[in-house]
Structure 1
């Protein structure tokens, strides 16, 4: 089987500047490692928070960025005006669809409601068979521990099949993220999601 090819990685993450520094350090490391792999960053185009940190780090090390931003959020104080390419969409739904279309892989760094919504959407699309791309939940400093604990409740109470653990990978550091993506083999998921 030939290796899964990655050129564009969507990173979902916080746009807040008010979070702990260790999250910024991890975002910086991810940007550096993505640049080393010559992977283009696909993201919401924000210039603040972890979004801005990943993009800045990646560009500093020679990587390329593709910011996809809805018209409503195209405000100079919010967007990264240094993106190599920008796509402005009519609304959030179009933005998310474009990110899914362009990206070969998805990484969810720590983030808020928007990050969770994007993560759940790509997981659901994979569950339903609309794509079979890698999804990584970056559980830096145990950020997603409670969410992952809730996932265990879904499995235990049979609201989700055990096989859907294959929908995503859990990584505790950037090395684990890169290793998973480099060696990704698309799983043969059960298409009978409704049973």
Structure 2
């Protein structure tokens, strides 16, 4: 596979109800920094977003945040990053995150994380990109989501191959190995159509 130089992380702007979510986010940030993988994320300083970014920065890694101006104006933008791009819209933010990343990881999060996860696997299904997508299933957080996707398949609204659009890992320690195990891209990305 081509080298993974930058990883986009989708996750909550809240910490959630378990300290394990925070611990796993910190471990992921540490491992990204140790492996020289740049973090691309939504630019927030709060919740799991801030935890991952802080862990990468503390480990000497690079962090690029991309935040729409309306969220930046609410003073939730992280000011201690390698780069912070303040953009005009959520659409611009998402497009830039895709273009700047070699892979994607979904940590526990809320509706925004669900939106980003479904968009990125849909774009992979449509062959707009062929970059790895990982789901970090901390404490079985994503089990209901995986069950929903199974229901969609069983009811005839998606093919069984939909489950090949992403890889589930149970622990942040397994993320780097999972990224390296991903097959090489089958086709060139067409991000200009995103």
Work out whether the TM-score is over 0.5. yes
Residue equivalent to 2:50: 52
1:28 paired to 2:29: no
Runs of 4+ in 1 over 4 A off after TM superposition: none
Residue 77 of structure 1 and its aligned partner are, at CA, apart by 3.5
Mark the runs of 5 or more structure 1 residues left unpaired by the alignment. 190-195
- Helix, strand or coil at the partner of 1:74: helix
- The 5 Å alignment of 1:28-177 reads 28-75=26-73, 77-177=75-175
- Which of 179, 183, 186 is residue 177 of structure 2 equivalent to? 179
Question: Alpha carbons of 1:94 and 1:14: their partners in 2 closer, same or farther (altered >3 Å)?
Answer: same
Residue 8 of structure 1 and its aligned partner are, at CA, apart by 0.7
Determine the C-alpha separation between the residues in 2 that align with 1:65 and 1:113: 23
Mark the runs of 5 or more structure 2 residues left unpaired by the alignment. 188-194
Deviations 1:97-122 (A, max 9, x none): 11011110000000000000001110
Determine the C-alpha separation between the residues in 2 that align with 1:158 and 1:166: 16
- Which of 9, 19, 33 is residue 7 of structure 2 equivalent to? 9
- Helix, strand or coil at the partner of 2:162: helix
Determine the C-alpha separation between the residues in 1 that align with 2:36 and 2:17: 28
Deviations 1:157-195 (A, max 9, x none): 221111121100011101222111122114659xxxxxx
- Alpha-carbon RMSD across the aligned residues, in angstroms, is 1.4
Contact kept, 8 Å, 2:131 with 2:185, in 1: the verdict is no
Contact kept, 8 Å, 1:126 with 1:167, in 2: the verdict is yes
- After TM superposition, the score normalised by the length of structure 1 is 0.92
Determine the C-alpha separation between the residues in 2 that align with 1:187 and 1:93: 25
**Aligned length, in residue pairs:** 187
